[in-house]
Amino acid sequence: MTHRLAAMRALVAADLQIFFRDRRSVILNLVTPLAIAGLFGMVFGGGGSAPAGRLAIAVVDQDGSAISRAVAAGLAAEKTLAVSSLDEPAARDLVLKGKVRAAVVLPPGFGEAAGRAFLRSTDRPRVAVLYDPSQAATLAMVQGLLTQHVFTAVTGELFSGDGGTRLIDESLASLDTQGTDAAVTADLRELLTRARSLNERNRSQGGAGTASGGGLSVPFEVGDEPVTSGSTPYNAYAHATAGMGVQFILMMGIEAGVGLLLLRRRGLWLRLKAAPLARGTLLTARVVSAALMSLVMLAVLYGGATLLLGVRVDGSLAGFLGIAVAFALTTAAFGLLIAALGGTPEATRGLAIFATLVMVLLGGGWVPSFLFPAWLQQASLALPTSWAIGGFEAMTWRGLGLAEALPTIGALLAFTTVFLVIAVWRFRWDVASR
Amino acid sequence: MLEVRHLSKSFGDRVAVADVSFVAETGRTLGLLGPNGAGKSTIVNIIAGVLRPDRGEARVHGAAVDSDTSPAKRLVGFVPQDLALYEELSALDNLRLFGSLYGLAGAELDARAASALGVARLSDRARDRVETFSGGMKRRLNIAAALLHEPRVLLLDEPTVGVDPQSRNAIFDTLAELRSGGMTLIYTTHYMEEAERLCDRIVIIDHGRVLADDTLDGLYARLPAHARPVQQVVTVRPTLESVFLELTGHRLRDD
């Protein structure tokens, strides 16, 4: 037993010595993930204090009516939008080039037609929203804001605008020709008459007179509240650190696996096998060294992220450490799996990197997974990356407790077990001699 | 003493070794000769415990090499054909690591490593990384790594591939010292002159089978009469290697 432990310690020490002696490898594995996490975090909102970016859209007002001007003004006043006023060809060109996310085209006669359609359900004008298909989520947001401002502008014009009385008079004149029930017609007449009276009163009081005032408004206000761990604001760097950490540690796991293939190629595997050691000792040493390297990387990454990016473990420290150890073991087992299933080191490295990048992407390491289709979000639970990233987030900015870490730790250990079983089963112990 | 009995090994449909048997006496050098692909390395790998035979066995001083942790493996030193060294580590770190795999530790390990470096004539480069070594230096260190645990049988799988004459001579000198110290050497090569120079007994193998197993004189005696060596008075022409060594010297070129 002592001999086995001493041999294992020597093998692990050699692996660590080689890993830390290669300066380029150390920089790649320790500094790069922190740098990229900083970049990603900055892009996705930074530490929480920076204002959110405004969505660039264009408004094409081909009508020029009071209502269309009010709609344009309403959109321009939105704090989430950066609105530019353009003609349609220019707006279409900018959407195509990705310079603006969407363009709202208010067609000629829009105000008149919208007011009329509001009162009589006649032909509704068609407002075109040109949008960048790569930013499809923008469409719903723009449509929602457009609906709100058109509603406010049209009712404002009807109840207090100069053109409102004319539109009401037209509707009153057409009531008798619509062939509706007499009682309904009487009610509508009374409603329109009172609306006309309201319009005249509003205008006589002077303040109103444009479509932007005196109309109906959305009957509620939104009070948004980010739910985080108490006093700590959301830190986009915490998400990015989790994603990039998982990605680069898995990359290191790949190198550990490829390193085993290189041992075969270089004949070192023969020398190791010639020693009086059990296979389990040789493989366990590889697992332990890869897991230790993963833990060192995690420690450096989160240490750096704490100092430089303000990332904090606001949840359970024990939970965080548990997830870190479980993920380190998963990484080591992943490396062994690669060595067991791989062919040449070069081909194996390429395939493994591709698989890892896909796993990190689907695990939400690059972009939030809520952007994925629902089935894909469910499917991603079959990936260790999804659990690891979610777990690290839960223990950092979400500030959750140990109980929330346990399912993640269990899942990662399950992945570890599966990887190890397959790796040991498929590992090619014998090397064909020349 | 090494006894190999009825070894057979196949890789899929390819028969690498078929019913091979031979004996290597203590303190003697046995050469395994054969063309590329003859099965030499497979036999050596089985003796080293790296490969499992399909049938047969190898015994070192009576102990079978039959499992990963077999005690017989401690009696065997293995010099693989490839340079089985960690290029990123120093020569000393390599030796310490390989010594640890055989249960050596502490002062004993340090002493054995120092001794092995001396045998390899690399004491002055102990702390240099292997990747900075010449091919000859790596070959010598490759042998030194197999000597740390003081094996009774040393397996050398084409140990002189790609080395200059100076390093080859140094390796031959080292092997002669080891043999005189009672170590049994198993030497695979396809260089006939190396086998003639080093080996007391030669096993010729092809297609995984033993074609001949005899001393040099015994092998010559198998030739037809007209092809046997005859005593003649001739002017012995020096070899090109002797000319080369005369001109360049026997000193190792490790720089």
Token pair of B176 as six digits: 């002669």
Rounded-to-integer distance, Cα A86 and Cα A94, Å: 10
State the pLDDT at residue B190.
81
Q: Are B58 and B7 in contact (CB under 8 A)?
A: yes
Rounded-to-integer distance, Cα B178 and Cα B182, Å: 7
CB contact under 8 A, A270 and B11: no
Helix (H, G, I), strand (E, B) or coil at A326: helix
The answer on pLDDT for A50 being more than 60 is: no
Q: Are A368 and A389 in contact (CB under 8 A)?
A: no
Question: Which residues from A are below 8 Å from B81, CB to CB?
Answer: 267, 434
Return the closest-CA partner of residue A117 out of A106, A129, A109, A128: A109
Among B36, B78, B82, B152, the strongest candidate for a mutation testing the A interface, having the largest count of A CBs within 10 A, is B82
Candidates A9, A18, A270; nearest CB to B86: A18
Within its chain, how far is the Cα of A150 from the centroid?
30
State the pLDDT at residue A399.
87
* Interface size between A and B, measured as CB pairs under 8 A: 103
Residues of A with CB under 8 A from a CB of B: 3, 6-7, 9-11, 13-14, 17-18, 21-22, 266-268, 270-279, 430-434
Rounded-to-integer distance, Cα A360 and Cα A357, Å: 5
Query: Mean pLDDT in chain A?
Result: 86
The strand order across the sheet containing A102-106 reads: A81-85, A55-61, A102-106, A128-131
Question: Which residues from B are below 8 Å from A270, CB to CB?
Answer: 45, 48, 50, 78, 80, 82, 84
* Segment A366-408, tens digit of pLDDT: 877 777 788 888 888 899 999 999 999 999 988 889 999 999 9
Q: Where are the domains of chain A?
A: 2-47+236-426, 55-204
Rounded-to-integer distance, Cα B188 and Cα B156, Å: 6
pLDDT band of A51, cuts 50, 70, 90: low
| Options 3.10.20.30, 3.30.420.10, 3.40.50.2300, 3.40.50.300; CATH of B2-248 | 3.40.50.300
CB contact under 8 A, B86 and A268: yes
Neighbours of A97 (CB within 10 A): 9
State the pLDDT at residue B230.
67
List B186's β-bridge partners, or say none: B30, B155
pLDDT band of A55, cuts 50, 70, 90: confident
State the pLDDT at residue B15.
93
* Segment A14-41, tens digit of pLDDT: 999 988 888 877 887 788 888 988 888 8
Question: Which residues from A are below 8 Å from B50, CB to CB?
Answer: 270, 273-274, 430-431
C-alpha distances (whole Å) from A234 to each of A48, A230, A311, A387 are 5, 10, 10, 20
Q: What are the 10-residue block averages of pLDDT along chain B, 255 residues in total? A: 94 92 95 90 94 94 92 94 92 96 94 94 94 92 94 93 85 91 92 89 93 90 73 70 69 69
User: To 10 degrees, what angle do helices A2-21 and B91-101 make?
Assistant: 150
What is the predicted ipTM?
0.88
Architecture of domain A55-204: 3-Layer(aba) Sandwich (3.40)
Mean pLDDT of A197-223: 69
Helix (H, G, I), strand (E, B) or coil at B11: strand
